[in-house]
Structure 1
Amino acid sequence: MTAGTLPAQDPGTPPPPPPPAEFVFNGHYGRNPLGGVSFRAMCARLPSVLGRTARMAWQVDRRAVVLLLSCQFAMGAGSAVQLSATAKAMRPLVGAAPVADRLHAALPALIVIAAAAAAVRTASALATYADGRITPGLTTRADVALVEAVCRVEATAYSEEGFSDRHEAAEMGVVRTQTMVQDARTFTAALIRMAAAAGVLTVLKPLMLPLLLLAVLPSGLGAVLAARVDYATHYANIGDRNVRGMMRWWSTEPRYSDEVRANGMTDYLVYWYGAVSQRIDRRTLATAPHKLRITVGTSALGGFFLLVTWVALGWLALSGRVELALVATAVVAVQAVLGALSQVVAAAAALFHSSLYLADMSSFLDLAAARAPARGDRVVTGPVEEIRLDDAVFRYPGKETPAVDHLSLTLRRGEIVAIVGENGSGKSTLSRLITGIYLADKGHVSWNGTDLAEADPHSVWPRCGLVPQIFAQWPLRARENVTLGRPRTYDDQAVWEAVEAVGMRETVESLPGQLDTLLARELFGGSELSGGQWQRLACSRALYRKPDLLILDEPTSQMDPRGEHQIFERLKAVAADRITLVVTHQLENTKIADRVVVMDHGRISEQGTYDELAAGNGLFAELLALSKDR
């Protein structure tokens, strides 16, 4: 079976599924930023790109930047010395004296040429070394900046239109950072060599320089236009590449392999992946004729002017307007200028190409910075005695109906509160408002009287312990999976206490390296846990933090009865020291709660103890009856 095709269907079987949906990079960021930009404006980007590259490199390794620039100028000076010495060597070499005398007269200049060539090569090697010092740090800096930006944005940014696609576009900027310094080095070195050779050539015959520029500039125009076509294709493919990357991960992740195989998904997933990949390829291949026309047209124009250049040089020599020695030097100078110009054009086009992707990365970092938490600087101190929601309203971006609608609730220290309701009733959104992950659009959420909109989140979140419904299975050692984000001591006593509290001590002790065991079966030396064991470990992580606010969202959904009993018993044992919130669909589990809050369409429909609500005629009693009618 080839990629993008489904196996042949037997007669009478259902028809094949439709092709994958179109994933268009659209919305506010859907317009290609180069769509209406002129060629002149595109070329004007180069100085800013060089400046940005220099600033980033300077921050990474100043000594390497100084070395790189010194080598660039040394190479330019060496090229100028070579050409000047060549002119001096040519006069005796083309003269009428005996060969031995001519060689003897040219020897000093030849020695200078050899020394200059050695110096240029040495400077080139040192420049490569400096490049190697700068590039890894620069790439890491860009990569870390991107990860940090995504981690630090307001959580609501993930729901905004275009955020994920802008993130995907920015990833390409990190990739292009790896070649940025090399392109900038090639460009500046070629520019300096060109200036040196052009100076020598201008002294010999000023007419030659404009002819050489006309011979090379068309190829520069072609390279920039081709880069613009490549970027337009890249921009059109962002949506497809984004979802293809996600599907690749879900399809090949070992923890989902049972579902893929037992449900017979393999054929369709391979078909889907191949079909989307082919769609990306079709967009790319569709640009080939356009790029061919650009290349052929600009190459023909450049070739014409290059022919004119050589004809002009030949005419100058045959007409006697330039002596033979200078003609030979001019040939060398023309070749040097032509080579340097070609490198300038190629490197400038590469820099321009990189600048498009770096601009995507820069604009995303600006977007992320604008969406970073801009809250107050008030500090929440512990212990947290009371959390209050006053007429709080929250609406997800792009949604018309509030997820939490004019909700008021008070939570007190020492209390276990259970939040229940049907899917989509606002339970998880409420927990995000309580922790300050989301800020209320209207109304207030306060801790000990401090509005979270005015509080420094770094004084709030260290006091939280959250076990989300969808929790991460971190590819770290068992110890770090417990202490992640909040290591409190240098010994493991507190870690073992948290592990034992959720009934995981025996399991961890049976691992090859106990707390030092890497929990990632996909990596060499790693071990794997079951779904219920992972959930227990997530609970131990929250308990280890000893938080003022403990929130557990469906904390026992993957556990066996014994594990579930252990978790709830532990909750009751530590409840006096904190505010505990349990979000659950298992209504029987709410018996441990001091109070049960029932959510319905973003509002509180009723609240009370389990017995009070079970005996009533409200939504809780209805859901409880349905859970028992099986």
Structure 2
Amino acid sequence: MAPVSPPPPPPAELRFEGNPGKNPLGEASFRQMGSRLPSVLARTTRMAWETDRRAVLLLLVCQLLVGAGSAVQLAFTATAMQPVLGNGPAADRLRAALPALVVIAVAAAVTRVATALCSYADGRITPRLTTGADTALVEAVCRAEAVAYAEPGFADRQEAAEMGVTRSRTMVQDATRFTAALVRMVTAGGVLSVLHPLMFPLLVLAVVPAGAGAVLSARVTYETHYANVGDRNVRQMMRWWSTTPKYSDEVRANGMTGYLLHWYRALSARIDRRTLTAAPRMLRIVLASSALGGVFLVGTWATLAWLAVTGRVDLAAAATAVVAVQTSLAALSQLVIHGAAMFHTGLYLADMRSFLDLAHELAPKRGELTAPAQVAEIRVDEASYQYPGKDSPAVDHVSLTLRRGEIVAVVGENGSGKSTLTRLITGIYLADKGRVTWDGVDLATADPDTVWGSTGLVPQNFAQWPLRARENVTLGQPRTVDDGPVWDALDTVGMRDAIEALPGGLDTLLARELWGGCELSGGQWQRLACSRALYRRPPLLILDEPTSQMDVRGERDVLDALKATAADQITVVVTHQLENTKVADRIIVMRHGRITEQGPYEELAHGGGLFAELLALSKDR
């Protein structure tokens, strides 16, 4: 009998915690929550003003017109009611009320036109505001220090900030409707207060419970969102990894489909469970606020009836009061709905703002010195670097000198610090101790853009950009208007025939998932990645496992290209294929973050050290 396989393990418990994460409602009182509205309204206005000032001015004018129109309609309703409810023939009473009715009709038309113009202004502001928020988020992530990705909670904070971008689509609309409702409420409330001072306070009491309920409901919704951030973040990542064609072969051939679906369903169920757990709280809040508001609303109508029956207000005033009550009630309801929406949006905007502030703090602030454009010597002096959360440094007190015209190979076992060393040399990471200098300029004091403008890097995990073949070589930074240098770079790595065979040549989109796109093999992609670095003609060229996916011919093309261009640059090659280190002038051997050996190939191959041991093992495979 075959052994029974155990069920797949459930997804790990994920918490939205870490250094940057803090629930903005964790210690907030109801008063503090309510006080957020003015700041959210002010922030929305400021963001809209920066986006389109004319549209904001149009919105403000239209809001005033809507308020004025509502006031005129109510005031002239009272005027029209006097003759309508008076004595005499109906025709005479209607004739006497006609001027007031015309004014009411004109005011209603103006209000409708102003409302339409508000929608037009919102349509001008919202797309650009949303795009601006989205672009700011992308820029913040791109400009943050590379080490930020290793910070605990950074990815979760980014996920929370994404919700802020999403909510920015309704931000202006909610603010517009909130202020419009506020204006209508003030005008209608003013009419009610004139008719009788008791009416408006009672009406406010009828709506306040609904407002409190809406804010409390928004808090519950946000708490659920906050608890689900980590799970949603990982679920989205798992969705991409499970459905992208790039890994479809591995998923199918390894029988992973069932487990991935189990994982996805389990995460989704956990998210849904938290949402459903919050439903009873939401129900209690809605029932309590609705019941209390209903009691006060009944009191409002009863008071109006008592005033009319006892003669404390005449029939015309009572009729006007009915219209004013309905207008005020509608305005107050809209005020509550959109005020709660603004409060809700404000929470997500706070997440977005805090992430942008965090990313700004983590953006490079290294100084304004200009790194040499044609660096001749790079010195690493007693440099150490330790990743966040790790117990030991990845690079530990390393000293090294690299000179123009030299090819240096860096070898060692996995985890020995090879790739980290290249990141220190290029200034992607800054040393925790020691320093790295380019011709005497400390990278910690140099403008990073001037450093990276002089580097070419082919990392282990290179990008397969969904761009045209041409942009995959130039990376959007063409040196000339013609394609001559592009073809030269492709010739260098033996990719001309492959690119010419594509349907559109250099204009072919390299993304099989998109209509009209084509795909390259793994080795062809790696050749293309090498052509990018060679196209840049950088003073510093670093290739991290540049030929791991290539055939023998492609590997030979790249190594020959390195020899041909070596005189004009500093070249660093990180590799596990030790035979390829013969192309190097010097080999550096790393172990546990330190340099244990260095020298030419023949010397190390017969030196009896780690290099000789690894070389012997590679030949035995």
User: Is TM-score (shorter-chain normalized) higher than 0.5?
Assistant: yes
Mapped partners of 1:57, 1:491: distance in 2? 42
* Contact 2:470–2:506 under 8 Å retained in 1: yes
**2:126 matches 1:139:** no
Contact 2:24 2:347 in 1 (8 A): no
Q: Which residue does 1:91 correspond to in 2?
A: 82
| Matching of residues 591-602 of structure 1 within 5 Å | 591-602=582-593
| d(CA) in 2 for partners of 1:18, 1:547 | 49
Task: Give me the TM-score of the superposition, normalised by structure 1.
Answer: 0.98
Of the candidates 297, 301, 323, which is equivalent to residue 332 of structure 1? 323
Cα deviations by residue, 1:344-373 (Å, 9 ceiling, x for unpaired): 111000000000001000000000000000
1:205 and 1:380 map into 2 onto residues whose CA distance is 77
Aligned to 2:491: 500
Q: 2:49 is matched with which residue?
A: 58
Letter of the 1:311 counterpart: A
Matches within 5 A, 1:377-396: 377-396=368-387
Cα deviation, residue 532, structure 1? 0.7
2:91 is the counterpart of 1:100: yes
CA-CA distance at 1:96 after TM superposition:
1.1
Indicate yes or no: 2:38 matched with 1:38.
Answer: no
Matched, 1:315 2:306: yes
Find 2:393's aligned residue among 398, 402, 422.
402
Matched, 1:450 2:441: yes
Contact 2:75 2:191 in 1 (8 A): yes
Gaps in structure 2 of 5+ consecutive residues: none
Contact 2:372 2:438 in 1 (8 A): no
**1:554 matched to 2:550:** no
The aligned amino acid for 1:438 is Y
1:179 paired residue number: 170
Identity value in percent: 71
TM-score by length of 2: 0.99
Alignment correspondent of 2:353: 362
Match of 2:519 among 528, 531, 542: 528
1:485: how far off? 4.6
Aligned to 2:418: 427
1:468 to 454, 459, 463: 459
Please tell me the residue identity of whatever aligns with 2:534: L
- 1:122-143 superposed Cα distances (whole Å, 9 cap, x missing partner): 0011100110110000000000
* Counterpart Cα distance in 1 of 2:604 and 2:3: 54
1:590 matched to 2:581? The reply is yes
Aligned match of 2:289: 298
- CA distance in 2 between counterparts of 1:374 and 1:47 reads 34
SS at match of 1:92: helix
Question: Whole-Å Cα distance in 2 between the matches of residues 507 and 28 of structure 1?
Answer: 48
The aligned counterpart of 1:566 is 557
SS at 1:287 equivalent? helix
Asked whether 1:194 is paired with 2:189, we answer: no
Matched letter for residue 412 of structure 1:
R
| Counterparts of 1:329 and 1:209, CA distance in 2 | 13
Partners of 1:595 and 1:77 in 2: how far apart? 82
The alpha carbon displacement at 1:31 in A equals 4.2
Alpha-carbon offset, residue 28 of structure 1? 3.0
Report deviation, 1:310. 0.4
Structure 2 CA distance for aligned equivalents of residues 393 and 28 of structure 1: 23
- 1:627 and 1:143, CA in 2 relative to 1: closer, same or farther beyond 3 A? same
Aligned to 1:3: none
AA aligned to 1:214 is L
Q: Distance in 2 between matches of 1:289 and 1:105?
A: 56
Q: Please give the alpha-carbon distance, in whole angstroms, between the structure 1 residues aligned to 2:39 and 2:419.
A: 45
Aligned partners of 2:424 and 2:436 also within 8 Å: yes
Query: Quick one: distance in 2 between partners of 1:607 and 1:498?
Result: 31
Aligned amino acid, residue 259 of structure 2 = Y
**Which of 114, 117, 129 matches 1:126?**
117
Partners of 2:418 and 2:574 within 8 A in 1: yes
Aligned counterparts of 2:466 and 2:97: Cα–Cα separation in 1: 69
1:411 aligned residue: 402
Q: CA deviation at 1:21?
A: 1.2
Whether the 8 Å CA contact 2:21–2:157 is kept in 1: the answer is no
Partner of 1:263: 254
Give the count of matched residue pairs.
621
Cα shift at 1:30: 4.8
**Within 2, Cα distance between the matches of 1:196 and 1:456?**
58
1:164 offset after TM fit, Å? Answer: 0.7
**Post-superposition offset of 1:17:** 1.3
Shift, 1:29, TM fit? 4.3
Instruction: Render the CA deviation track for 1:172-205: whole Å, top value 9, x for unaligned.
Output: 0000000101100100010011111111111111
Question: Of residues 7, 20, 27 in structure 2, which corresponds to 1:16?
Answer: 7
CA distance in structure 1 between the partners assigned to 2:506 and 2:52 by the alignment:
38
Residues of 2 paired with 1:204 and 1:317: CA distance? 11
Aligned mates of 1:213, 1:564 — CA distance in 2: 78
1:242 corresponds to which residue?
233
Which residue of 1 is the match for residue 532 of structure 2?
Answer: 541
For 1:536, give the aligned amino acid. R
Contact 2:475 / 2:532 at 8 angstroms: preserved in 1? Answer: yes
Determine the C-alpha separation between the residues in 2 that align with 1:574 and 1:13. Answer: 60
What is the SS of the residue equivalent to 2:330?
helix
Deviation at 1:444? 0.9
Q: For residue 93 of structure 1, report the CA deviation from its aligned partner.
A: 0.4
* Displacement of 1:11: 6.6
Return the alpha-carbon distance in structure 2 between the equivalents of residues 17 and 374 of structure 1. 46
Query: How far has the Cα of 1:32 moved from its partner?
Result: 2.1
C-alpha distance in 2 between matches for 1:245 and 1:169: 13
Q: 1:612 aligns with which of 591, 603, 610?
A: 603
Q: 1:158 aligns with which of 149, 152, 156?
A: 149
Work out the CA distance in 2 between the residues paired with 1:69 and 1:617: 81
Counterparts of 1:321 and 1:188 in 2: how far apart (Å)?
33
Q: Which amino acid aligns with 2:10?
A: P
3-state SS, counterpart of residue 28 of structure 1: coil
Q: Which amino acid aligns with 1:276?
A: L
Paired position in structure 2 for 1:6:
none
1:245-296, Cα deviation, whole Å (9 max, x unpaired): 1110000000100001111111111111011001100000000000000000
Are the counterparts in 1 of residues 16 and 153 from structure 2 also a CA contact under 8 Å? yes
For 1:572, give the aligned amino acid. Answer: K
Shift of 1:13: 3.2
The CA RMSD over aligned residues, in Å, is 0.9
Partner of 1:627: 618
Work out the CA distance in 1 between the residues paired with 2:479 and 2:283. 63
Q: Secondary structure of 2:414's match? A: coil
SS at match of 2:19: helix
Q: Distance in 1 between matches of 2:26 and 2:200?
A: 34
Q: Aligned letter for 2:451? A: V
Q: Say yes or no: does 1:109 pair with 2:113.
A: no
SS at match of 1:27: coil
For 1:523, what is the secondary structure of its paired residue? coil
For residue 26 of structure 1, report the CA deviation from its aligned partner.
1.9
| Aligned position for 2:205 | 214
Shift of 1:55: 1.1
Question: 2:505: which partner in 1?
Answer: 514
Deviations 1:398-436 (A, max 9, x none): 222111111000000000000000001000000000000
Matched AA of 2:479 = R
Counterpart code for 2:124: R
- 1:280 partnered with 2:271: yes
Q: Which residue of 2 aligns with 1:251?
A: 242
Report the counterpart of residue 7 of structure 1 in structure 2: none
Shift of 1:297: 0.3
Distance 1:554 1:594 in 2: 17
Measured in 2, the distance between the counterparts of 1:525 and 1:208 equals: 68
